[in-house]
């Protein structure tokens, strides 16, 4: 057992060092040599854990996604908060707000990283879908929602958001604002929620 | 003017030849030499029109998208057909159903072509959005829809469809069927259409 724990620790050490380098030097300018120097390990040890720099980046994305999902789950489970608020806060909690998060967001938006971007979003959607579906089911039970297909409807809302509110969706500030208002109204309709209930919650939480 | 016309013709000839080769030999196994042999032109002429084999593929995608959009527009403008039927038929008309179309669909679903896939979908969405928005506006005027933000709502429906009903969205046949039914119900809600009206139209058109 001891060896296994050490391997996991070593792996995290490499990821920590790589994260710091990616943020300070940038991903492109960081070499695997830089990472070796920083963690003070031999090349063989690095390759035992990761096949390539890209492999490290993928592991980093998984780590960020896991922590976002864990944060979302904690928010979603706090039953002292009304459901509509919890839904809004759960979705907001998915916004990346660390240095390494921002660096990786910039990276995956480069054209050559389109596949990585897709994978990152897919894994995030898969992680958050059951959490939000549970909230929609709760709302159905409370009688504030009326959704026949909770999982599919939640999926529709999430998938649309990941594209339409992605940072590289080019548009003017006005059309962006209009899209947000339309999304809130449309979400109310899809959830069978009272007209204006979601918009009211947004105003309360963010104004 | 004569030279311009000839250039456009030559360009189309190259695309036609490349299409045939991509379908019969496959994209990966087709070389630019194969294309030169088929069109009987010099390498310089090819490079005057296209930078690379990938550039040819991109032009091919544009040509297919343009013809899909033109087909969709023709269907959408036929006012003798009821609006809900026209919407369903306009969307159905976007399905690729030629040999070259299928070959390209297979190509863009390869992991290394993720960016091309994204671009192809984006250009198709941008082309069909105004056509479907017009239909939603018509439905509003007729009083069979009640949509406050026609463009944004139409965009939501299209963007979701392009992901959820894309061939590489892995799922079982049962969950695929459930997703389609949920999508029809949700579309009725978003359009403010009579419950069951869209489902009835689908049954009528496809059963």
Quick check: B182 and A112 CB within 8 A? no
Which two tokens mark A82? 């009304």
Name the band, by pLDDT with cuts 50, 70 and 90, for residue B1.
low
Helix (H, G, I), strand (E, B) or coil at B1: coil
State residue A87's pLDDT score.
Answer: 93
Under an 8 A CB cutoff, do A156 and B183 touch?
Answer: yes
Interface of B with A (CB under 8 A): 111-112, 114-115, 118, 148-149, 152-153, 155-156, 159-160, 163-164, 178-179, 181-183, 185-186, 189-190, 192
Instruction: For an interface test with A, give the residue of B156, B169, B181, B193 to mutate (most A CBs within 10 A).
Output: B156
- A10 min Cα distance to partner chain B (Å): 31
Interface touch A182/B149, C-beta < 8 Å: yes
User: Looking at CA atoms only, how far is residue B201 from chain A in angstroms?
Assistant: 20
A114-159 pLDDT per residue, tens: 788 888 888 999 999 999 999 999 999 999 999 999 999 999 999 9
**Residue tagged 């343009």 (tokens):** B66
Tell me the two tokens of residue A41: 């390990």
Grade residue B113 by pLDDT with cuts at 50, 70 and 90: confident
Q: CATH 1.10.10.60: which residues of chain B?
A: 1-50
B52-92 pLDDT, tens per residue? Answer: 999 999 999 999 999 999 999 999 999 999 999 999 899 88
What rounded mean pLDDT belongs to chain A? 90
Under the banding of pLDDT at 50, 70 and 90, the label for residue A62 is: very high
CA distance B174 to chain A (A): 13
Contacts of A61 (CB under 8 A, 6+ apart): A104, A108, A116, A119, A120, A123
Residue B112 has pLDDT above 80, yes or no: no
Portions of chain B given CATH number 1.10.357.10: 53-206
When pLDDT is averaged across residues A190-205 and rounded to a whole number, the result is: 91
d(CA A205, CA A182): 18
Pick the CATH number of A1-50 from 3.30.1130.10, 1.10.260.40, 1.10.10.60, 3.40.640.10: 1.10.10.60
The shortest C-alpha distance from B61 to chain A (Å) reads 18
Q: Which residue in A148, A179, A182 is closest to B185 by CB distance?
A: A148
CATH 3.40.50.1110 fits A53-206, yes or no: no
Task: Report the chain B residue with the minimal C-alpha distance to residue A186.
Answer: B190
Supply the pLDDT for residue B184: 92
Ramachandran bin of A137, using left for φ above 0, alpha for ψ from -120 to 50, beta for the remaining angles: alpha
| A186 closest CB neighbour out of B111, B153, B179 | B153
Is the Cβ pair A183, B111 closer than 8 Å?
Answer: no
């Amino acid at each position: 057992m001891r060896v296994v724990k050490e391997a996991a620790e070593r792996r995290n050490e490499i990821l920590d060092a790589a994260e710091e380098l990616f943020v300070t030097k940038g991903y492109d300018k960081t070499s695997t040599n830089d990472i070796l120097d920083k963690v003070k390990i031999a090349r063989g040890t690095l390759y035992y854990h990761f096949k390539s720099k890209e492999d490290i980046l993928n592991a980093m994305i998984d780590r960020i996604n896991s922590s976002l999902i864990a944060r979302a789950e904690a928010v979603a489970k706090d039953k002292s908060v009304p459901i509509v608020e919890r839904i809004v806060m759960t979705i907001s909690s998915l916004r990346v707000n660390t240095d390494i998060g921002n660096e990786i967001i910039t990276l995956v938006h480069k054209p050559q990283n389109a596949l990585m971007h897709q994978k990152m979003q897919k894994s995030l959607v898969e992680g958050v879908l059951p959490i939000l579906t549970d909230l929609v089911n709760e709302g159905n039970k409370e009688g504030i929602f009326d959704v026949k297909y909770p999982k599919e409807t939640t999926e529709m809302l999430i998938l649309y958001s990941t594209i339409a509110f992605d940072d590289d969706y080019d548009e003017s500030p006005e059309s962006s604002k209009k899209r947000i208002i339309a999304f809130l109204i449309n979400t109310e309709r899809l959830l069978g929620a009272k007209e204006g209930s979601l918009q009211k919650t947004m105003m309360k939480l963010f104004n």
